[in-house]
């Protein structure tokens, strides 16, 4: 076929297609322009060159059609750098685009402007970035952050002004901007660590809601920040030996005990949930953060997340971490089978898995690993088989107990039909024999007999080296091997010839009677070899071992040179001692410093001042009552100025009430209270509902703690919905002041913002009354010899540790004698679980009852916590096992947030069941009551009266749990559970189904 004639029509059609597009772009109809731009953008996506359309496209940058304008900007971003002259002609249009009402147009205009790499427009770009940094739209501010590194690379002299913009954007509290501005910070001024101080806590708290790309950037930056601001959590020398610690005991005694900085703990706590991320890069970033920052006792939490990556075929990343020094501490040992090799794995992954299995080998699991290696040797992949044999050699080197077993197994491979297997076995056996050659002379003899069969040059050379090195152990066989090698000398490979010369020299020095003539013959052949290395080696050895008049004093030391004891080789992992590079980086993988790599700072010897991270609270963020300011983690009370304002308002209300009537009695005070509650007009109610709809409370950015709010709205409910049991006295200033604090209508604007939130919480109250909490029997009075114990899950936060579930226990002494010293001992927990014991009860009199609270971190599992309940005379074995619904805490979500989160947890994270509701459970109130009784969830507002929604998070890992009950006709309903942890979701389905159908 004539390819030239075949391509002409295609080129003609392509040019015709571009002409048609130009005509469409010149048309007066927006629909034709839009169609043309869609085709052009599609061509760009397929990698086709459309730069010849630039003049036709750029003319439409001023088009009034928003959709056309968006696509034009997409095109200009792609070609602005290539067509700089034409782009400059339209710069005034881009500047007008920066003022466009549409945020997408403003962002696109800034993106095109920053893509024009011409120094002359640097002032225009700088002005545009400054204006965009103050834009109302977070999307435009995000684009401004992206434009900062572009401008810096174009003109580094603008650094000072760009730092001011970065400082301003770092103070932005929007998650959309956080990742982009941190990237700009890393590109422009990573040395300005002072810019991070006041934003550190905010970045830690926003991290969970930032997009995945931003999470990776922020985590990497915070890792380097933490290495400069916090002390080494392993500074107590846990890596040192006993004698090292004993020698340093006086110095350790003078040193203050290490206490982790709360900000250090904040970073570790807020990044831990990201180990469940679906993005492998995020998991790797968190893993390297824990590796470099966490105490060694806590690093093990990353193993499970990395194994999850392994199962999703992200093995290269897992290998980078699993080959590190913590492997020896058994972090991955429970997941040994996850590293077994599959037949479908590519060779590269097989080799990496072998590396990990070899690192995981120890005295307890070596037998299992060797059995696995025996299977791998039968593979058809020769490179993989060779790597397996090398792995066996490394196991034999590292674990002396199995050295003989490995050596015997490798000797058996010498009879394999495959030359490559035999050759690799010989090479490994050679290294192993160097450790104890006197014990394995039989193996050396056996290998000497293989010289006629083995043709692989490296294997033949290894056998000859072994025979020459240990010729004294095989005095009868070595000369015969030299005789055979002398016959085939001219046909051997260069590496084999060199070893034949070495063998001849060693035999000449140890057994010259039998090998003198053979040695001279070999040296004469080598003298005229084509390879100059072999010729030089022959001349050197002749002068060294054959003494002549011209020979120097060096010949006297020939035996010491050739027959010197050589150290046994050490087979080590190629990934050993790479800790000087940051884990997970390209430099760590390559074991060489890559371009753009930033060194990980060393830990400081003394802790820097932690007060630099404290942020002053502005008046605008202070609210009446108790609130939590997330950036500092400090509880702030009402300021004195605000209290004085409340006192003035309470006095004003007092004077107004006195002017109305002087006949207020106790009974009339109650009626006046009722009338004041009913005095809200319908217009005011509608206004509050409207405010409620417009107010969005994002769970990660709320400045009020959820649990504090629950306590606050209970007090608020008591103040608004219940009349006082006693009449309010006018002269009681203290009581007046408390009522003014509860009267949110009189608070400042910041406090008014929370009024609709509290009203909503009144409708969605999720704290179960104490009577509705289900009790479980821990110890029966007969088994406990008069002592009975019941426990319940109080569904209240356990203040010492937020990751623990509060368990309330009720001890009852039914005996006739007192019980003393009630306490816990011998706690047995599953891996990862923790217990905060209740304080010892010194005395429980007969017939009396006492209550205690303990905290348990069940690690998001329903495994029981087993322990001994001890008194002064007896010990009772007891256990506490939680229902899955008690492993959660309620979380407040708006309807839009619920739908968004539910959309992200579809597919594998969703369980749907069709059910028939119980006759008594076919109204909304009953459904809500039963679901909340079964699980500690909160009600989510819903526009439909046929659907009930609930939300919560697991206590330990903060995994999101969403529950939807959609009712239909005649009791039919659909239960949907979306959960980040499918194990939790599966167990929760059963409990809720049981609650709704019985």
| 961 bridge partner residues | 952, 979
Q: Phi/psi of residue 105, each to 5°? A: -70, -40
- pLDDT recorded at residue 800: 84
Cβ-proximal residues to 150 (8 Å cutoff; 6+ apart), any chain: 114, 115
Residue pair 758/716 in contact by the 8 Å Cβ criterion: yes
- pLDDT recorded at residue 573: 65
Q: Is 176 exposed, middle or buried (0-12, 13-18, 19+ CB in 10 A)?
A: middle
pLDDT tens digits, one per residue of 156-189: 999 999 999 999 999 998 999 999 999 999 999 9
The answer on pLDDT for 810 being more than 60 is yes
> What tokens appear for 872 in the block?
């002064």
Q: How is the chain split among helix, strand and coil, in percent rounded to 5? A: 60, 10, 30
The answer on pLDDT for 55 being more than 50 is yes
Residue 812's closest CA among 791, 836, 838? Answer: 791
> What tokens appear for 247 in the block?
């020698």
Q: How far apart are CA 429 and CA 467, in angstroms?
A: 13
The HSE-up count of residue 118 (CA atoms within 13 Å, CB side) is 17
Looking at 177-191, 354-368, 883-897, which range is the least confident one? 354-368
Q: How far apart are CA 26 and CA 760, in angstroms?
A: 56
Residue pair 111/147 in contact by the 8 Å Cβ criterion: yes
CB atoms within 10 A of CB 474: 19
The answer on pLDDT for 909 being more than 50 is yes
Looking at 136-145, 396-405, 496-505, 530-539, which range is the least confident one? 396-405
Q: How far apart are CA 614 and CA 597, in angstroms?
A: 31
| Three-class secondary structure of residue 785 per DSSP | coil
247 or 814: which leads in pLDDT: 814
Could you give the C-alpha distances from 115 to 119, 186, 628, in angstroms and in order?
Answer: 12, 20, 43
SS (H, E, C) 877-905: EEEECCCHHHHEEECCCCHHHHHHHHHHC
Strand 634-636 vs strand 627-629: parallel, antiparallel, or unpaired? antiparallel
The answer on pLDDT for 139 being more than 90 is yes
Cβ-proximal residues to 671 (8 Å cutoff; 6+ apart), any chain: none
Sign, CA dihedral 278-280-284-285, equals negative
DSSP string, 52-73: GGHHHHHGGGG-S-HHHHHHHH
Q: How far apart are CA 320 and CA 287, in angstroms?
A: 11
Residue pair 263/198 in contact by the 8 Å Cβ criterion: no
Q: How far apart are CA 40 and CA 23, in angstroms?
A: 13
Residue 363's closest CA among 401, 392, 391, 390? Answer: 401
| 880 bridge partner residues | 865
The answer on pLDDT for 527 being more than 60 is yes
926 or 152: which leads in pLDDT: 152
Q: At what angle do helices 301-311 and 280-293 cross, to 10 degrees?
A: 150
Let me know how many helices (H) and strands (E) the chain has, helices first: 43, 17
Residue 858 Cα to chain centre, angstroms: 21
Residue pair 186/221 in contact by the 8 Å Cβ criterion: yes
Cβ-proximal residues to 470 (8 Å cutoff; 6+ apart), any chain: 433, 437, 441, 444
At 625, the pLDDT band (50, 70, 90 cuts) reads very low
Q: How far apart are CA 498 and CA 514, in angstroms?
A: 21
pLDDT tens digits, one per residue of 449-493: 777 777 788 888 888 888 888 887 778 888 888 888 888 898 888
Across the range 748-776, mean pLDDT stands at: 46
Residue 773's closest CA among 863, 882, 864? Answer: 882
At 799, the pLDDT band (50, 70, 90 cuts) reads confident
Sign, CA dihedral 219-224-227-228, equals negative
Across the range 62-69, mean pLDDT stands at: 80
Could you give the C-alpha distances from 283 to 201, 274, 567, 600, 787, in angstroms and in order?
Answer: 21, 6, 43, 19, 49
Q: How far apart are CA 937 and CA 266, in angstroms?
A: 25
| 412 bridge partner residues | none
At 212, the pLDDT band (50, 70, 90 cuts) reads very high
Give exposure, 839-853, as e/b (b: 16+ Cβ within 10 Å): eebeebeeeeeeebb
Could you give the C-alpha distances from 145 to 44, 73, 81, 409, 513, in angstroms and in order?
Answer: 26, 18, 19, 62, 84
- pLDDT recorded at residue 941: 87
Q: Is the pTM of this model over 0.85?
A: no
Highest mean pLDDT among 356-370, 715-729, 869-883: 869-883
């Amino acid at each position: 076929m004539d390819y030239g004639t075949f391509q002409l029509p295609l080129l003609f059609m392509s040019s015709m297609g571009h002409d048609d597009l130009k005509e469409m772009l010149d048309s007066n109809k927006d629909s034709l322009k839009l169609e043309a731009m869609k085709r052009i953008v599609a061509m760009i996506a397929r990698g086709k060159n459309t730069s010849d359309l630039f003049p036709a496209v750029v003319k439409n940058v001023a088009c009034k059609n928003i959709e056309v304008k968006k696509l034009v900007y997409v095109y200009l971003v792609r070609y602005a750098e290539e067509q700089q002259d034409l782009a400059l002609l339209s710069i005034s249009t881009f500047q007008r685009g920066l003022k466009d009402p549409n945020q997408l147009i403003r962002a696109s205009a800034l993106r095109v402007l920053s893509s024009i790499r011409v120094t002359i427009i640097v002032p225009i770009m700088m002005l545009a970035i400054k204006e965009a940094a103050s834009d109302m739209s977070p999307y435009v501010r995000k684009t401004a952050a992206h434009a900062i590194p572009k401008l810096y690379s174009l003109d580094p002299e603008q650094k000072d002004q760009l730092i001011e913009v970065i400082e301003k954007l770092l103070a932005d509290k929007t998650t959309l901007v956080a990742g982009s501005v941190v990237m700009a910070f890393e590109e422009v001024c990573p040395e300005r660590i002072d810019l991070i101080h006041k934003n550190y806590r905010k970045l830690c708290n926003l991290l969970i809601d930032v997009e995945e790309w931003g999470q990776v950037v922020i985590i990497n930056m915070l890792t380097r920040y933490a290495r400069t601001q916090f002390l080494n959590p392993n500074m107590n020398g846990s890596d040192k030996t006993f004698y090292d610690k004993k020698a340093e005991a006086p110095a350790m005694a003078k040193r203050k005990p290490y206490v982790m900085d709360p900000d250090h703990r904040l970073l570790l706590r807020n990044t831990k949930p990201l180990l469940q991320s679906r993005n492998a890069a995020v998991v790797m970033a968190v893993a390297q953060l824990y590796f470099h920052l966490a105490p060694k006792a806590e690093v093990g939490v990353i193993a499970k997340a990395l194994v999850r990556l392994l199962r999703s075929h992200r093995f290269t990343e897992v290998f980078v971490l699993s080959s590190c020094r913590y492997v020896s501490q058994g972090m991955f040992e429970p997941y040994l089978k996850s590293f077994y090799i599959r037949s479908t794995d590519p060779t590269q992954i097989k080799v990496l898995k072998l590396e990990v299995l070899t690192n995981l080998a120890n005295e307890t699991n070596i037998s299992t690993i060797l059995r696995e290696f025996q299977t791998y040797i039968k593979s058809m992949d020769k490179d993989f088989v060779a790597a397996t044999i090398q792995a066996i050699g490394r196991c034999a080197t590292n674990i002396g107990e199995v050295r003989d077993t490995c050596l015997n197994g490798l000797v058996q491979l010498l009879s394999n039909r495959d030359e490559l297997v035999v050759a690799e076995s010989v090479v490994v056996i050679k290294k192993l024999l160097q450790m104890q050659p006197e014990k394995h002379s039989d193996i050396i003899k056996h290998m000497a007999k293989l010289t006629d069969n083995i043709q692989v040059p490296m294997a033949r050379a290894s056998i000859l080296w072994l025979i020459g090195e240990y010729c004294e152990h095989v005095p009868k066989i070595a000369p015969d091997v030299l005789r055979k090698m002398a016959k085939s000398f001219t046909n051997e490979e260069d590496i084999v010839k060199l070893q034949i010369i070495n063998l001849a020299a060693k035999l000449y020095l140890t057994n010259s009677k039998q090998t003198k003539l053979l040695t001279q013959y070999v040296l004469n052949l080598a003298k005229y070899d084509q390879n100059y290395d072999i010729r030089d080696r022959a001349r050197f050895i002749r002068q060294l071992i054959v003494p002549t008049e011209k020979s120097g004093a060096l010949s006297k030391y020939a035996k010491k040179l050739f027959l010197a004891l050589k150290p046994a080789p050490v087979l080590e992992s190629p990934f050993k001692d790479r800790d000087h590079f940051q884990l997970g980086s390209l430099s760590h993988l390559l074991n060489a410093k890559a371009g753009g790599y930033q060194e990980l700072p060393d830990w400081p010897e003394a802790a820097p001042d932690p007060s630099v991270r404290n942020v002053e609270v502005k008046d605008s963020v202070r609210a009446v009552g108790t609130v939590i300011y997330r950036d500092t983690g400090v509880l702030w009370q009402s300021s004195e100025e605000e209290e004085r304002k409340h006192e003035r308002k309470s006095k004003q209300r007092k004077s107004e009430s006195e002017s109305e009537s002087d006949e207020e009695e106790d009974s009339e005070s109650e009626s006046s209270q009722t009338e004041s509650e009913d005095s809200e007009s319908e217009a005011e109610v509608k206004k509050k509902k409207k405010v409620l709809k417009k107010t969005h409370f994002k769970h990660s950015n709320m400045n009020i703690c959820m649990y504090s709010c629950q306590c606050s709205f209970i007090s608020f409910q008591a103040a608004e919905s219940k009349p006082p049991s006693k009449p309010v006295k006018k002269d009681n200033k203290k009581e007046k002041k408390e009522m003014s604090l509860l009267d949110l209508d009189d608070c400042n604007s910041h406090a008014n913002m929370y009024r609709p939130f509290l009203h909503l919480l009144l409708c969605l109250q999720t704290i179960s009354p104490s009577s509705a909490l289900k009790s479980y029997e821990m110890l029966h009075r007969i088994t406990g010899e008069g002592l009975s114990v019941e426990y319940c899950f109080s569904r209240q936060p356990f203040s010492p540790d937020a990751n623990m579930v509060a368990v309330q226990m009720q001890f009852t002494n039914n005996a006739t004698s007192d019980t003393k010293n009630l306490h816990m001992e011998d706690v047995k927990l599953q891996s990862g679980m923790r217990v905060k014991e209740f304080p010892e009860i010194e005395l429980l009199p007969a017939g009396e009852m006492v209550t205690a609270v303990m905290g348990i971190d069940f690690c998001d599992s329903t495994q029981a916590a087993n322990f001994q309940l001890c008194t002064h005379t007896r010990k009772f074995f007891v256990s506490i096992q939680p229902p899955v619904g008690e492993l959660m805490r309620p979380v407040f979500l708006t309807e839009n947030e619920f739908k968004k989160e539910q959309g992200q947890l579809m597919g594998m994270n969703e369980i749907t069941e069709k059910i028939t509701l119980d006759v008594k459970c076919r109204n909304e109130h009953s459904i809500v009551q039963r679901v909340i009784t079964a699980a500690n969830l909160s009600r989510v507002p819903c526009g439909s009266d046929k659907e009930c929604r609930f939300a919560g998070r697991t206590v330990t890992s903060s995994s999101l749990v969403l529950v939807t009950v959609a009712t239909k006709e005649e009791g039919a309903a659909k239960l949907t559970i979306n959960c980040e942890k499918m194990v939790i979701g599966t167990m929760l389905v059963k409990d809720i189904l049981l609650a709704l159908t019985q």
